[in-house]
Amino acid sequence: MSKPDPEAVRATFESVASRYDLANHFLSGGIDYYWRKKLVEMAVEGSCDQVLDLATGSGDVLFALREGFSPDAAITGVDFCEPMLQEARNKREAKELDENSNRFLLGDCLSLDFPDESFDLVTISFGLRNLSDRDKGLKEMYRVLKPNGRLIVLEFSQPYFWFRPFYYFYLKLILPWMARLVTGDREAYLYLGSSISAFPDRVGLVDEFEGAGFERVHFSALTFSIVALHLGYKKNNS
């Protein structure tokens, strides 16, 4: 599979923005709640004043992080798809959360509009796979982290060998048709299957973290390893 085309990816998310959350919950059988819960458990192991959630989409990860962190923590969500961000802002308003400490900004993961060493924690969930240049994206995440800051990536991975035939049968043959019923857009979820199959396995992503400068990298496989959490630290300059 060739590298993701940013304009095609943006158009895909624009087409499903209003039904994105429903599709996620339905097509994952609700397991997405568990995945986010595990991310938050990992995130709150360290104290954070400034948090950046990339590819924030409709904001579910940011809102989950908000429940885990102190109300004083500032959490910023960045995405390159404005309709998805509008869904997130609508949720923020419904939750009556402060706009200044729960921001949603339009931006590009490959060229973040933040100074060096701005954040204690960067998270990205199911978005790293969609970057046209993962190495550049990871280096940008490294740049905006403070020394000893953490990057947590929640992303699809390669399932355990014994589970792989069942998983890819569902992913490539069943899921697109189910997605069409929910979103009306089968093509968006055909892309999902092809992007997952082309993504590195757990060890391969560790190598990419380390290539971008991260240290103390480790991972946790979830749900037969169809998803993995990766954690890496920026070097401490002291």
pTM of the model: 0.93
| Nearest residue to 109 via CA among 131, 88, 129 | 131
**Nearest-5° angle of CA 74, CA 147, CA 79?**
45
C-alpha distances in Å from residue 99, one per residue of 37, 45, 155, 209, 223: 23, 25, 27, 32, 34
Residue 67 carries which side chain, given as an amino acid letter? E
Residue 87 has a pLDDT of 94
State the pLDDT at residue 28: 78
Map out the domains of the chain as residue ranges: 31-161+201-233
Residue 150 has φ and ψ, to the nearest 5°, of: -115, 145
pLDDT value, residue 2: 63
Check residue 198 and give its pLDDT. 87
Q: Which two tokens stand for residue 125?
A: 């969930």
Cβ–Cβ < 8 Å for 194, 113: no
Q: How far apart are CA 130 and CA 79, in angstroms?
A: 12
Measured over the CA atoms of residue 84, residue 90, residue 91 and residue 93, the dihedral's sign is positive
Q: Would you say 38 and 229 are in contact if contact means Cβ atoms under 8 Å apart?
A: yes
Topology of the domain comprising 31-161+201-233? Rossmann fold (3.40.50)
pLDDT (tens, 9 = 90+) of the chain, 238 residues, equals 568 888 877 877 776 666 777 767 777 788 999 999 999 999 999 889 999 999 999 999 999 999 999 999 999 999 999 999 999 999 999 999 999 999 999 999 999 999 999 999 999 999 999 999 999 999 999 999 999 999 999 999 999 999 999 988 888 888 777 766 766 665 656 666 778 888 999 999 999 999 999 999 999 999 999 999 999 999 987 5
Q: What is the DSSP string of 187-213?
A: HHHHHHHHHHHTS--HHHHHHHHHHTT
Residues present in the chain in total: 238
Q: Is 20 left (phi over 0), alpha (psi -120 to 50) or beta?
A: alpha
